[in-house]
Amino acid sequence: MARGGAQKKEMVVAIDKDKGSQQALKWTIDRLLSRGQVVTLLHVKHKSSSAANATTNLNADFDHGETALYKHHHIDNHISDQFFLPFRCICTSSNITCNEVMIEGSDIPKTLTNYVSKNVVDILVMGAPTRSAAQIYKRFKSDVPSSVSKGAPDFCTVYTIGHRGKVSVRQ
């Protein structure tokens, strides 16, 4: 998509707490967005099976469960606000409107792919993990950008922004 093109496309930047996500957002703003456009910042919060059990245990006692869930939700909102803050600053300084979405999933690539499919996302931009993080992570699973690129629907163009601006595109 050319900058400032007439056709509006649903654009999402998948973010995490690493610097690669900030680089991906800056790259997106510089190359794909114009002032005043909207981008969705998407973060998948990893949901472990123990966290699911803890939520179930909170619901076991109805009277105290509602209070505990309310406090848990309030803490999550504060954490979410703090998490998105640096990304919000980048968007604001470039006059870009951002929508913030935080979803939970036990399989991050699958959760991202499902979001892209259900929301008919035209362009997905992700930051590649740093070399050291990628090496550690690959011992256990394939990296998220590769898995998402392989699993993304055909209508979605996936950009992976690597170190020093190296770009990988799957159209």
Residue 143 phi/psi, 5-degree rounding, is -75, 155
Predicted pLDDT at 170: 82
User: Helices in 94-143 by DSSP H: which ranges?
Assistant: 108-118, 131-138
Average pLDDT, the chain: 80
Q: Is pLDDT larger for residue 92 or for residue 51? A: 92
Following DSSP, what letter does each residue of 140-168 receive, concatenated?
TS--HHHHHHHHS-TT-EEEEE-GGG-EE
Across 5-9, 79-83, 131-135, 139-143, the highest mean pLDDT is recorded for 79-83
Section 151-166 average pLDDT: 89
Predicted pLDDT at 66: 41
Section 71-99 average pLDDT: 83
Predicted pLDDT at 62: 39
Q: Which of 31, 28, 55, 59 is nearest to 42 (CA)?
A: 28
Three-state secondary structure call for residue 51? helix
Whether the Cβ atoms of residue 61 and residue 129 lie closer than 8 Å to each other: no
Give the distance from CA 149 to its chain's centroid.
14
Structure tokens that stand for 74 in this block: 């309030």
Domains in the chain, start-ordered, CATH in brackets? 11-49+83-170 (3.40.50.620)
User: Helices in the chain by DSSP H: which ranges?
Assistant: 19-31, 49-60, 62-93, 108-118, 131-138, 144-151
